[in-house]
A and B are shown apart, each in its own frame.
Chain A
Amino acid sequence: NAGVTQTPKFRILKIGQSMTLQCTQDMNHNYMYWYRQDPGMGLKLIYYSVGAGITDKGEVPNGYNVSRSTTEDFPLRLELAAPSQTSVYFCASSYSGGQGTDTQYFGPGTRLTVL
């Protein structure tokens, strides 16, 4: 199993550009998540999904969009990139099925700089 994979690893965007961060998991997990992590600021949840076709906002959804058309893929779209979106982005997945579940598995991250 590859686990959770993310592409690209690094990206530099100009203000106003758009891009899609890709995330794929091969563990048949029902839940998937997107976080951003700024230095010393912990994890902030952007969006999450509890299954294909279902997405919901997290703490900091503004400026981002997601879709989940399959169990495996959960792309994050940035429209009109702004310097405030400079961050490290982590995708994660988990199987949620009651007690004893919910362990999150994280991808390697995408380091995004907006100039």
Chain B
Amino acid sequence: AQSVSQHNHHVILSEAASLELGCNYSYGGTVNLFWYVQYPGQHLQLLLKYFSGDPLVKGIKGFEAEFIKSKFSFNLRKPSVQWSDTAEYFCAVSPGKSTFGDGTTLTVKP
């Protein structure tokens, strides 16, 4: 069975700071990896995903994530956060039924 661990429960940053959210997974086979974002009061939506090819994937709003197979990691990054990035971020792994991490709440102070 697959599992996902997100290291940070709550991250607080000032605008223009750089962001890195950790995600590690466990699964023995080929995986699809996802980051979803949930803005306050809204539902989850896809931020980016990786399934093959270039391990550095780019998503919406300047976010990117790097898949490091040897470390079973898929960390999310953004060079300069904005107040509007305040949200909860979920890492997930599949195949089939995805397993979600517990989420990281990001608060960006203006």
Asked whether, in the complex, the Cβ of B98 is within 8 Å of the Cβ of A99, the reply is no
**Secondary structure of the B side of the interface?**
loop
Chain B positions within 8 Å of A96 at CB level:
94-97
Contact of B32 among A48, A92, A101 (CB under 8 A): A101
Q: How far is the CA of A9 from the CA of B49 in the complex (A)?
A: 29
Least CB distance, A7 to chain B, in whole angstroms: 14
| A75 lies within 8 A of chain B by Cβ | no
Asked whether, in the complex, the Cβ of B32 is within 8 Å of the Cβ of A106, the reply is no
Asked whether, in the complex, the Cβ of B95 is within 8 Å of the Cβ of A103, the reply is no
Asked whether, in the complex, the Cβ of A42 is within 8 Å of the Cβ of B103, the reply is yes
Between A and B, 18 residue pairs with Cβ closer than 8 Å are A31-B96, A33-B97, A40-B105, A43-B100, A45-B97, A50-B97, A90-B43, A90-B44, A94-B98, A98-B95, A99-B95, A102-B34, A103-B34, A104-B36, A104-B46, A105-B46, A106-B43, A106-B45
Q: List B residues at the A interface (Cβ < 8 Å).
A: 30, 32, 34, 36, 42-46, 49, 51-52, 90, 92, 94-98, 100-103, 105
Other 16 A-B pairs with CB < 8 A, given A92-B44, A103-B46: A41-B102, A43-B44, A43-B90, A43-B100, A45-B97, A50-B96, A90-B44, A98-B95, A99-B51, A99-B52, A99-B95, A100-B51, A104-B44, A104-B98, A108-B42, A108-B43
